[in-house]
A and B are shown apart, each in its own frame.
Chain A
Amino acid sequence: MEAILDPLIAGILQSFEPLNFAMLILGCSVGLLVGALPGLGSVNGVAILLPVTFLVPPTTAIIFLAAIYYGAMYGGAVSSITLGIPGASTAVATVFDGRPLAQKGKADLALVTAAVASFIGGTISVILFTLFAPPLAEFALKFGPPEEFTLMILAFATFIGLSGDSIPKTIFSILIGLVLATVGLDIISGKPRLIFFDIDGFFHGVNFLVLAIGIYGIGEMLWTLEETKGEVQVHKVTSSLKSLWNNVRKLKDYFATTIVGSLIGYFVGMLPAAGATPASLMSYGLAKTFSKDPDSFGKGEPAGVAAPESANNAASTGSMLPMITLGIPGSPTTAILLGGMIIWGLRPGPLLFSEHPDFVWGLIGSLYVANFFTVIINLAFIPIFVRVLTLKFTILAPMIFILCIVGGYAPTQTMHDVWLMLLFGVVGYLLRKLNYPVAPAVLAIVLGPLAEQSFRQSLLMSQAEMSIFVERPLSAVFLLIAILLAAYPTMSRLIKNGKTAE
């Protein structure tokens, strides 16, 4: 224990050295803003700020970058909740319930829930990281393609199971997402697939953020316009310390969800293939499946905000593990951290822990401190974020529209994606009118490519024997859980019906 405690305390103390601490606070605040602005994701944010890091020592620099990274994870929830536009791909699941909450006038509750759940997710995962980094890294190595594939199946199962009456509609939605996920160049052979109308833009596939921003940003705006005929009521906003504290205390109602979300997030984030976005979607699916009132999800359920937010923060810490121990960054932002490390002459890999303990423990220590201060800064800003909603809809709608366009253009910087996003907006609106769930399509386009790749790798490994998925213990367990999850809602409904019939 001492072997961990001593360097950890030294690492935490390091974060409080004046220069480090100043950079940490600056990083958290900048990250929060960068995450909150759609289209400016943390990749660009960190890349643009990289020069700053050459003015300071490596440990200070990594603290700064990690703080931005952390802040951005919190910030992503802000635009998801207040504007209905996912600020980053990791915050898409936060829109599902965050936006309805805001429309009910409970934006402050949603934002506080997101902040506190993020804090818990971040804290739990950094503790796990501290205590079990080497054995967990060992465990991550056991994950081959078959395990990755069955884990994806598990994620799909959480979404099929939770749809209640409209299982066919959910499957339809998943299939649409899977078809869109196959557009572009085949990930293994490189052959072009589904290049609609021979438009060159489709060679790059359908970007996930383009779909999400279209469906949620544009689609939602069209929906609101129709619902209200342009006369959206302006939200009343009361912000006082007391209401803030009340909102924080409400977290005890979905504490279990947050803990589960944190564990899933850490675990999934740790796998080099996955990352924070699948983690947050899985956590949302599980929270809904096991909720006492699954029907409230998607209509403004605070647990539906807590689940993805705890998971995406936990995953962002989790993805540091493969970066430090294996040199494989779990996300584009950690890739930039990796770049920084190479420039400072630090080579990520199995020896980094033993050869550069100051650096590694400085980073871990800073995660504790950054997490703590980001939640404070975030809570302090909530009254300002909520004020956005007091704007008249005639002002807010054009603003949302512009942010959507920017957000759709940013990932690949082609107009093709902007047109595609507008198209998805209209399609999303129609699907919603016809009562089709769109979240499963979003899930499918994120997980589809990962699932396809690991499926084909597995079959190559096994010489095309499907039995590889059940022969390996871990993947067999995942498959079993997936089947149980898919069946669980139907089973519990049957049991309930049986009871009422008696």
Chain B
Amino acid sequence: MKDSRRNVLKIGLAAGLGLAVSVGMVGNAAAQWEPKKPVEFIIMAGTGGGADQIARLLQGLIEKKNLSPRPFIPINKPGGSGAEALRYLQDKAGDDHTLLVTLNSFYTTPIIQKDIGVDPSKFTPIGRMALDTFLLWVHSDSDIKDLDGYVAKVKGTGQSWKVGGTGSGQEDSILTAMMEKEFDYKVTYIPFPGGGTVAKNLIGKQIDSTVNNPAEQGEFYRAGQSRPIVQFTGERMAAYKDVPTAKELGHDIEYYMQRSINGPPGMSKEAQDWYINLFSTLYQSEEWQKFCVDDGLDCTEWVAGGDLASFHAAQLTRHQELIAAVGAEAITGQ
């Protein structure tokens, strides 16, 4: 009798403990936010471009390493130099299941196009995955071998020199405007829906030059179809050791593009923390670091959350100055 009572007590205790433990676990699970439905991974540029490749690589790594209980679904919204994507994210305010993979048009498009009513500083910063770089490219059949040759050729051709890019106000149009100012020439800037399409049009000789990222043009360089003339970095990149920087040649043009992940305005703190943790894991992964080296991206410093917000603020100011210096008309062509 006594024994059985003791047994009952034991069982009761065990059950109670079990319950307590499981309640504790439920409590934990509630604190630990996780995506509850597929995450929309918005790319503010077209398919095949640098941002697109990055988003798709990250999506794949998330699946491969089983880092999220729900899949990430990349969606391209390239319209209006990213205005379409920015507006989409703005309208998703408070949503925990939408993220944006950015270009520098994250800063420039809202500055140039006030009427889309987007304030990028209101977005929820997650993490900066890389700083992307720019080179000046021509077709390998071209007789242009160096920067001086390029400038002479453009000046000789006049305004019918066609530079392909990914949209008025997009980073490559700013770089193009910076070059126009530095070298005192005018070109015609033609927008395409993504860096991949720009690359195709350079190889097809529909345009004369471009300032594509290495990820967009590198394969055609390896195949001997396009030639880098100059790089707009502080120092020569490992993958492009033979290409001089603009600074070496005495022209003060240095320009990078951040590749960061951001949420819509008013994303919950729990979700933001979860995403910061996720992308920090991805950032440190061997695969990501290898991609950075191969594709000429600078991935030496991880910037997340509040630090990314300060970085964004500084970049916004810098782009306001840049745009003021070259003139918004020089960028939009209006």
Residues of A within 8 A of B205 (CB): 141
A326 near B: Cβ within 8 Å?
Answer: yes
Residues of B within 8 A of A43 (CB): 73
Q: Do residues B220 and A349 form an inter-chain contact, with CB atoms below 8 A?
A: yes
Q: Do residues A190 and B71 form an inter-chain contact, with CB atoms below 8 A?
A: no
Query: Shortest Cβ distance from B156 into chain A, in angstroms?
Result: 16
Q: Do residues A142 and B91 form an inter-chain contact, with CB atoms below 8 A?
A: no
Query: Shortest Cβ distance from A439 into chain B, in angstroms?
Result: 25
CB contact under 8 A between A189 and B168, given known A339-B57, A343-B61? yes
Contact digits for A167-208, partner B, Cβ 8 Å, 1 yes 0 no: 000000000000000001111111110000000110111000
B32 near A: Cβ within 8 Å?
Answer: no
Within 8 A of A (CB), among B95-133: 109, 112-113, 115-116
B91, B196, B206, B220: which contacts A203 (Cβ < 8 A)? B91
A47 near B: Cβ within 8 Å?
Answer: yes
Residues of B within 8 A of A351 (CB): 219, 222-223
CB contact under 8 A between A328 and B196, given known A190-B116, A338-B48? yes
Query: Shortest Cβ distance from B202 into chain A, in angstroms?
Result: 10
B203 near A: Cβ within 8 Å?
Answer: yes
A44 near B: Cβ within 8 Å?
Answer: yes
A50 near B: Cβ within 8 Å?
Answer: yes
CB contact under 8 A between A349 and B219, given known A51-B63, A189-B332? yes
C-alpha spacing A140/B40, complex, angstroms: 32
Nearest A residue to B206 via CB reads A144
Q: Do residues A461 and B168 form an inter-chain contact, with CB atoms below 8 A?
A: no
B233 near A: Cβ within 8 Å?
Answer: no
Residues of B within 8 A of A273 (CB): 197
Query: Shortest Cβ distance from B71 into chain A, in angstroms?
Result: 6
Majority DSSP secondary structure for residues of B touching A: helix
Within 8 A of A (CB), among B191-211: 191-194, 196-197, 199-201, 203-207
Residues of A within 8 A of B199 (CB): 326-328
Interface size on B, residues (CB 8 A): 65
Interface size on A, residues (CB 8 A): 54
B296 near A: Cβ within 8 Å?
Answer: no
Query: Shortest Cβ distance from B44 into chain A, in angstroms?
Result: 11
C-alpha spacing A43/B40, complex, angstroms: 12
- Residue from A141, A142, A203 having most chain B Cβ neighbours under 10 A: A203
Query: Shortest Cβ distance from A159 into chain B, in angstroms?
Result: 25
C-alpha spacing A501/B112, complex, angstroms: 65
Within 8 A of A (CB), among B201-240: 201, 203-207, 219-220, 222-223, 225
Q: Do residues A463 and B188 form an inter-chain contact, with CB atoms below 8 A?
A: yes
A460 near B: Cβ within 8 Å?
Answer: yes
Contact digits for A271-298, partner B, Cβ 8 Å, 1 yes 0 no: 0110000000000000000000000000
Q: Do residues A335 and B56 form an inter-chain contact, with CB atoms below 8 A?
A: yes
C-alpha spacing A328/B196, complex, angstroms: 6
Contact digits for B172-193, partner A, Cβ 8 Å, 1 yes 0 no: 0000000000000000111111
- Residue from A185, A201, A335, A336 having most chain B Cβ neighbours under 10 A: A185
Q: Do residues A457 and B63 form an inter-chain contact, with CB atoms below 8 A?
A: no
Q: Do residues B76 and A335 form an inter-chain contact, with CB atoms below 8 A?
A: yes
Listed stretches B78-86, B250-258, B297-305; interface member: B78-86
A48 near B: Cβ within 8 Å?
Answer: yes
Q: Do residues A191 and B113 form an inter-chain contact, with CB atoms below 8 A?
A: yes
B244 near A: Cβ within 8 Å?
Answer: no
A54 near B: Cβ within 8 Å?
Answer: yes
B272 near A: Cβ within 8 Å?
Answer: no
Within 8 A of A (CB), among B16-67: 38, 40, 47-48, 52-53, 55-57, 59-61, 63-64, 66
B94 near A: Cβ within 8 Å?
Answer: no
CB contact under 8 A between A187 and B79, given known A200-B91, A347-B219, A350-B223? yes
C-alpha spacing A200/B71, complex, angstroms: 28
Q: Do residues B88 and A144 form an inter-chain contact, with CB atoms below 8 A?
A: no
CB contact under 8 A between A327 and B59, given known A48-B71, A190-B79? no
Listed stretches B1-9, B159-167, B262-270; interface member: B159-167
Residues of A within 8 A of B63 (CB): 50-51, 54
Within 8 A of B (CB), among A317-341: 322, 326-329, 332, 335-336, 338-340
B55, B57, B59, B204: which contacts A142 (Cβ < 8 A)? B204
Within 8 A of B (CB), among A141-165: 141-145
Q: Do residues A326 and B80 form an inter-chain contact, with CB atoms below 8 A?
A: no
C-alpha spacing A343/B203, complex, angstroms: 25
Q: Do residues A188 and B167 form an inter-chain contact, with CB atoms below 8 A?
A: yes
Query: Shortest Cβ distance from B41 into chain A, in angstroms?
Result: 9
CB contact under 8 A between A188 and B223, given known A47-B71, A463-B159? no
C-alpha spacing A350/B53, complex, angstroms: 17
Nearest B residue to A139 via CB reads B204
Q: Do residues A190 and B47 form an inter-chain contact, with CB atoms below 8 A?
A: no
Query: Shortest Cβ distance from B77 into chain A, in angstroms?
Result: 8
Nearest A residue to B109 via CB reads A190
Q: Do residues B201 and A144 form an inter-chain contact, with CB atoms below 8 A?
A: yes
A453 near B: Cβ within 8 Å?
Answer: yes
A342 near B: Cβ within 8 Å?
Answer: yes
Nearest A residue to B158 via CB reads A463
Q: Do residues B74 and A339 form an inter-chain contact, with CB atoms below 8 A?
A: yes
CB contact under 8 A between A349 and B223, given known A48-B38, A339-B59? yes
- Residue from B40, B53, B76, B109 having most chain A Cβ neighbours under 10 A: B53
Q: Do residues A326 and B200 form an inter-chain contact, with CB atoms below 8 A?
A: yes
Q: Do residues B84 and A184 form an inter-chain contact, with CB atoms below 8 A?
A: yes
Q: Do residues A461 and B206 form an inter-chain contact, with CB atoms below 8 A?
A: yes
Taking A190-B167, A339-B59 as known contacts, 6 extra A-B pairs with beta carbons closer than 8 A to each other, sorted by chain A number, are A51-B64, A188-B80, A188-B167, A190-B82, A190-B83, A350-B225
Can you list 21 contacts pairing A with B, beta carbon distance less than 8 Å?
A44-B73, A47-B59, A47-B72, A48-B71, A50-B71, A141-B203, A186-B79, A187-B80, A192-B115, A205-B84, A328-B196, A328-B200, A332-B47, A332-B76, A339-B55, A343-B56, A343-B287, A349-B219, A349-B222, A351-B219, A461-B190
- Listed in ascending order, the chain B residues whose CB lies under 8 Å from chain A are 38, 40, 47-48, 52-53, 55-57, 59-61, 63-64, 66, 71-74, 76, 79-84, 87-88, 91, 109, 112-113, 115-116, 159-160, 162, 167-169, 188-194, 196-197, 199-201, 203-207, 219-220, 222-223, 225, 287, 332, 334
- Listed in ascending order, the chain A residues whose CB lies under 8 Å from chain B are 43-44, 47-48, 50-51, 54, 140-145, 184-192, 200-201, 203-205, 272-273, 322, 326-329, 332, 335-336, 338-340, 342-343, 347-351, 413-414, 453, 457, 460-461, 463
